[in-house]
Amino acid sequence: MERVISIFKEICAIPRGSGNRIPISDYCVRFARKRGLSVRRDSACNVVIEKAASPGYEKAEPVILQGHLDMVCQKTEESEVDFLRDGIQTVIEGDFMRAVGTTLGADNGIAVAMILAILERQDLAHPALEAVLTVDEEIGLLGADQLNKSLLRGRRMINLDGEDENSVMVSCAGGVDYVMRLPLEKKKSRGTISTVTVFGLRGGHSGAEIGNGRLNANLLLGSMLGRLHQITPFEIVSLSGGDKGNAIPPRARAILSVRYPEEFKEEWERLFRSVREENSVREPNLSAEVTFSDPTEIQALTPACGTRLLCVLSCVPNGVVEMSAEVSALVETSLNLGILAERDGAAEMHFLLRSNKRSALEALKAKMEAFAFLSGSSGEFSGDYPPWEYREKSPLRERYLALYADLFGKEARVEAIHAGLECGVFDSAMPGLDCIAIGPNLYGIHTVEEKMSLSSAERIYKAVCALLADCRD
């Protein structure tokens, strides 16, 4: 396991945010070539490394080990990390590894580290291996979608993008990105400039955490300003929040032209106290800041346009749409407003729609198109990826469950997940694929609170090695 952590630290030193494909791809290619392994890289920078079967396993069916190379890059306000140039600084505290001021990137760097460690081992019994390391998973499973799956020989796949060691995932949500654009009209306005910021929300993964009641900073700020607008006059200069489509935004900001600053501040503080008290359990660190600068002339939204934008933010669908009727406590369909920004004369709202059912996802797409029409907006879908349907029969799943129980004296849970996994992309393109998704205990993924249990990572690594040794047929 020491070697796994050593490789993971090497990976952390490489800038590998989504879209920054080449440095981490180069690392994997060099790793394979240095060890005499067959490696190929496609035009998208996906990397496939092959290793021949160990003695006695030559007739066994190949096994695919799969993980993704990119990470979600989030940092604290104080962090000076440049994600295009700098790596991640890690620290170990007891059983946990975390990063200093940033996301850790164990999602999914620890999978890559485990796979590479397995590939370089000479003492491990295993069938022929195909290590499939994909790019840009975090922004729509783009690498998996671009990979030529017909070149893969294996029809058994171990995906290592899980985050709960006691869980074996067997189904995931499909999803699609939706950008809705509301045209903005502006005029000259004169008033006291106020910057209003809400922050300290828990945020988190827009699939795994969407059912936990966490507030969306974009919608919270929009709703509060909508209520405040009925009490004291102001005009909107800009509204913005969030920078990742697949993360629940923990922070949002409004710049306003305020007519009566003292009245505005008093009413804002009254309203915020009420909202904070109502949400003290779900959002214990909810905070706000209001600052003022001297009166000036500035371009602000027209009253009608500002009202329309606040109405959209108050009424747009968000969060859990429907729970599963088949799987207990599973969110079946949801959406998240991850990014709110002004671009090219419009308020752009970036949503990620998810569902474990294709029909429900199509219905949600139709609902968003209808909402856009009624609000005078336009919209565009992109990055559609399929759900991973549950298979009643899975020899790989049953083999892993038996091994897990033997190794650790407890049974793993078989679960579906309301988040996108690359398993769905591979399953839809590879008939007969037998797939499971597993991984170590990760906490706070996609946030600066992300941390990984080292003992859990060791157990998962042990389980994967045991599973490979058991795949003799």
Active site residues: 70, 137
DSSP string over 313-360? HHHS--EEEEE-SSSTT-EEEEEEEEEEEEETTEEEEEEEEEESSHHH
Provide the token pair at 338: 């991850």
Tell me how far CA of residue 427 lies from CA of 60, 95, 171, 258, 386, in angstroms: 21, 35, 10, 54, 9
Residues 6+ apart with CB under 8 A from 55: none
Under a CB-based contact definition with an 8 Å cutoff, are residues 115 and 134 in contact? no
Enumerate the β-bridge partners of residue 339: 350
Q: Which residue has the tokens 């349907």?
A: 389
Of 198, 196, 233, 117, whose CA–CA distance to 468 is shortest? 117
In whole angstroms, give the CA distance from residue 270 to residue 254: 18
In whole angstroms, give the CA distance from residue 3 to residue 382: 39
Under a CB-based contact definition with an 8 Å cutoff, are residues 127 and 64 in contact? no
Q: Which residue has the tokens 């993360």?
A: 247
| Coil vs helix vs strand at 191 | strand
Q: Report which residue type is found at 232.
A: T
Number of DSSP helices (H) and strands (E) in the chain, helices first:
11, 23
Under a CB-based contact definition with an 8 Å cutoff, are residues 66 and 158 in contact? yes
| Coil vs helix vs strand at 77 | coil
- What proportions of the chain, in percent to the nearest 5, are helix, strand and coil? 30, 30, 35
Burial of 48 (0-12, 13-18, 19+ CB in 10 A): buried
In whole angstroms, give the CA distance from residue 401 to residue 211: 27
In whole angstroms, give the CA distance from residue 179 to residue 383: 11
**Cis (ω within 30 of 0) for the bond into 336?**
no
Q: Report which residue type is found at 323.
A: M
Provide the token pair at 305: 């346009």
End-to-end CA distance of the chain: 27
Q: Which helix (H) or strand (E) holds 24?
A: helix 22-34
What are the two backbone dihedrals, phi and then psi, of residue 214, each rounded to the nearest 5 degrees? -75, 140
